[in-house]
Amino acid sequence: MKSSVENVMSYKDINVPEEKLTIEIPSWDAVAQPLVDHARRQYEEMINEPVDELTNEMVDALALPGVKTIQQLKQSGMEVYQRNQTQLQFYNEVLPFILKYYADNSNVILNSEERDSYVTDYLRQVKAYADQYDMPLEQYGREQLKLEGNINEQLEKRAEEDFIFKVIAHRVFENQGGRLDEEAYEQFIHRNVVQQGADEIELRERFSYNAFKEMMPEMSLSQDIYEYFSKRITFKINPDAKLRV
């Protein structure tokens, strides 16, 4: 018997705590300042002498795409920061909360062999990431994944939450009339080549038809959840907040 789930709650009905949807910053000027400082250093390298303060003329001389003034430079810095931090907040705080919520509140019937196989593969992948950082798994879990307590237990718990989400995603995809046949795969490849400029040969090697069938429902639901909650993540001014980088 394959793993299955009944009566999936819509992610829109999950009450994500406000603090997980809020990013505190000291000020928008503080957000923009690193890019201003970087531009000043670029100009100093260009003229081979120090400058006290960046001016509009200096910014224009750098010939940055779409940027001619300090105000435009600051605006660009704020937009990039907002986009990057929104993604980090979603993947570090919002999505883990949603995965845990689904795991705790869904009527899921798990096939133990499927579950154990997924957990084993998950832990193997995390170990590979730890090796890339040249860290023991314990250190990687604490420093990179911000886990506490027994790291192996926490990772196994995350793996099971991930697996349950996968089961839910396949059910949602099926309910929405999603297709996983070869024609749908070819449409996926064509869309990524035309719209994203992906290399077709490389994409097919990296994302085979079997991988498409396995991963597409999860990718689709994750993207839907991101688009919904990323619009609800807000930035709050707190002069005492540290600027996240």
3 occurs within a structural domain:
no
Q: How far apart are CA 58 and CA 68, in angstroms?
A: 9
245 occurs within a structural domain:
no
Q: How far apart are CA 113 and CA 119, in angstroms?
A: 10
Rounded to two decimals, what is the model's pTM? 0.88
96 occurs within a structural domain:
yes
What DSSP letter does each residue of the chain carry, written as one string? ---EEESPPPGGGS---GGGGEEEES-HHHHHHHHHHHHHHHHHHHHTS--SS--HHHHHHTTBTTB-SHHHHHHHHHHHHHHHHHHHHIIIIIHHHHHHHHHHHSEEE--HHHHHHHHHHHHHHHHHHHHHTT--HHHHHHHTS---S-HHHHHHHHHHHHHHHHHHHHHHHHHTT---SHHHHHHHHHHHHHHH---HHHHHHHS-HHHHHHHHHHHHHHHHHHHHHHTT-EEEE-TTPPPP-
Domain that residue 129 falls in: 16-237
Contact yes or no for 118/162 (Cβ under 8 A) = yes
11 occurs within a structural domain:
no
Q: So what's the pLDDT on residue 1?
A: 66
7 occurs within a structural domain:
no
Q: Is the pLDDT of residue 4 over 70?
A: yes
Tokens 């990718």 belong to 219
Q: So what's the pLDDT on residue 6?
A: 85
Q: How far apart are CA 172 and CA 53, in angstroms?
A: 55
* Per-residue model confidence as pLDDT tens digits over 139-163: 999 999 889 999 999 999 999 999 9
Q: Is the pLDDT of residue 220 over 80?
A: yes
1 occurs within a structural domain:
no
Q: How far apart are CA 149 and CA 224, in angstroms?
A: 32
Q: Is the pLDDT of residue 172 over 70?
A: yes
Q: How far apart are CA 206 and CA 219, in angstroms?
A: 15
Total number of domains constituting the chain = 1
Output the CA–CA distances (angstroms, integers) from residue 22 to 33, 40, 76, 93, 235, in the order listed.
21, 31, 21, 10, 6
167 occurs within a structural domain:
yes
* Per-residue model confidence as pLDDT tens digits over 21-35: 999 999 999 999 999
Q: So what's the pLDDT on residue 162?
A: 96
Pair of tokens at residue 177: 């009339």
* Per-residue model confidence as pLDDT tens digits over 48-100: 999 999 999 999 999 999 999 999 999 999 999 999 999 999 999 999 999 99
Contact yes or no for 148/142 (Cβ under 8 A) = yes
Q: So what's the pLDDT on residue 7?
A: 82
6 occurs within a structural domain:
no
* Per-residue model confidence as pLDDT tens digits over 116-141: 999 999 999 999 999 999 999 999 99
Q: So what's the pLDDT on residue 245?
A: 85
- Per the prediction, the chain carries an average pLDDT of 95
